[in-house]
Amino acid sequence: MDRSIRIFRWSIGAGPLLLLSAVSLVGAAAEDGPEPRPLALSPAPEPVPALRHRLFPTAAERTPGDAAPVYLRTLAELPDEFERQVGEKYEAWIDLPIDEFPIDEARTIGGGSMPELLAIAARREYCDWSYPLAEQREHAIEILLPDAQALRNRIRLLALKAKLEIAEGDLDEAIRTIETGLAMSVHLAEGPFLINDLVGRASADSLVDRIEELVARPDAPNLYWALTALPRPMIDFRDSLENEQAMAEWVVPEITGLDDLRTEDEWRVRLARLHERLRALEPLLAENDIDVEDRRVPAELDAFVAELTPQAERHFAPKDGAAPESEAERIVRFIVDRYRQVRDESYKLTYLPYADAARLYAVIAPETAEESKNILVPAAVPWALGEVILAVRGAHRSQALLERRIAALRVVEAIRMHVAEHGSLPSSLDAISAVPVPGDPISGGPFSYRIEGDSAILEAPEELTDARPAGLPYRITIRK
């Protein structure tokens, strides 16, 4: 993909299936479930003082000012060769076991003053990317986000730095680097679009990988309270999902302000402009790999009216004479009514905790997919209702999966604390009394835990098979 990400490619409105593949959330679970990942731990009591270690800057530690100019300054710091090297080394090294990590070679990557600049930016009070959304709302889906792509390499640099520090045994410095990376991840998510949240979420996930590696070190401090003090949710998708809800009205303003129209001529003009706008959007859809063949808007206005008239009549038939007399008004209002139904049905569940929403997603998506598949949804809203619900669910679940990983690591640290006090693995999670044991943010219930011989299996009530396995289930053993 071009270094300049175009928001259109990642908008739910532009392509739900693209979104689902982008966040790697849909996959068939293996019949027997994923194999537990070995996690060898050493007992570790609660640190003294309890908040000695931090994984996210406190409000008191933040410095005045905007982080964005500092982050953007780092993009001009080093040559393209450095950027290429970081990308290549990250792909080659980041998933290696710690004892296979090439310490000597990793030390040569360097980066000059960049890590310190990133540390400064990550501790600024706020981050304003200043995208021209207010001025370019009609073209919102075409806005380019070159910074979102380029700054991913800065997260890769921090992830490699933290991994090097863990491999070298410099755990205090690794914790500070992870703190910088997580704070930067939250800043990356502070843009107005879903892609900003997805980049921030993926960035945070890479730093959570480093936390997992760190707690597995023999001399690792207990990070239960450091993990507990992280923001919840770590990456909040709410603002971007609400912007997604408004996207169609921004790029197709003809579906707004209907109550201002009075005469039949005004409705005819609005219908013609709406048809013209939808036609103009089709090349942009095709340019961004969105299949519009089954939802193509007829080239001629008369054909557009003929195709929509029967659907509009069916839409207003149950409304006891409430159908507008004007044909143009009936069609415009049908399109807008249908759009609002799709939008609200798709997004309403995102206001619930995922554990509560999951049961409703399972009921709503199959029913509405069948109901909507034969109803024309114009190119301005290029989705069937069932498709967009699945896409929104993917974004909602993406946020919850990150929360699950953090909660699972809190459970791991509670186990290490219990072993430090009692000398053995707890017989159940209920047996842990030193600190509260978090539940699973996705199921809403407790994590599953059982003893198998001299190890324990920690898993969630259900699992996904991801393209890049991470997190649960764990097979936990305690070092002697």
CA atoms within 13 A on the CB side of 187: 35
Contact 439, 429 (CB under 8 A): no
Q: Strand 448-452 to strand 455-459: parallel, antiparallel, or no bridges (unpaired)?
A: antiparallel
Q: Is the dihedral of CA 412, 415, 421, 423 positive or negative?
A: negative
- Where residue 145 falls among pLDDT bands split at 50, 70, 90? confident
The per-residue pLDDT for 268 is 96
Question: Which tens digit of pLDDT belongs to each residue from 86-104?
Answer: 999 999 999 999 999 999 9
- Identify the burial level of 369 via C-beta atoms within 10 angstroms of its C-beta, where 0-12 means exposed, 13-18 middle and 19 or more buried: middle
Which one, of 13, 2, 70, lies nearest residue 285 by Cα? 13
**What's the whole-model pTM score?**
0.87
- The side-by-side arrangement of strands in the sheet containing 37-41 is 37-41, 474-478, 455-459, 448-452
Evaluate if residue 468 carries a pLDDT over 90: no
pLDDT tier at 284 (50, 70, 90 boundaries)?
confident
Contact 188/203 with Cβ under 8 angstroms?
A: yes
* Amino acid at site 30: A
The reported pLDDT for the residue numbered 363 is 73
Cβ neighbourhood burial of 173 (10 Å; 0-12, 13-18, 19+): middle
Per-residue model confidence (pLDDT) at position 80:
79
Single-letter residue type at 419: V
pLDDT at 116 over 80: yes
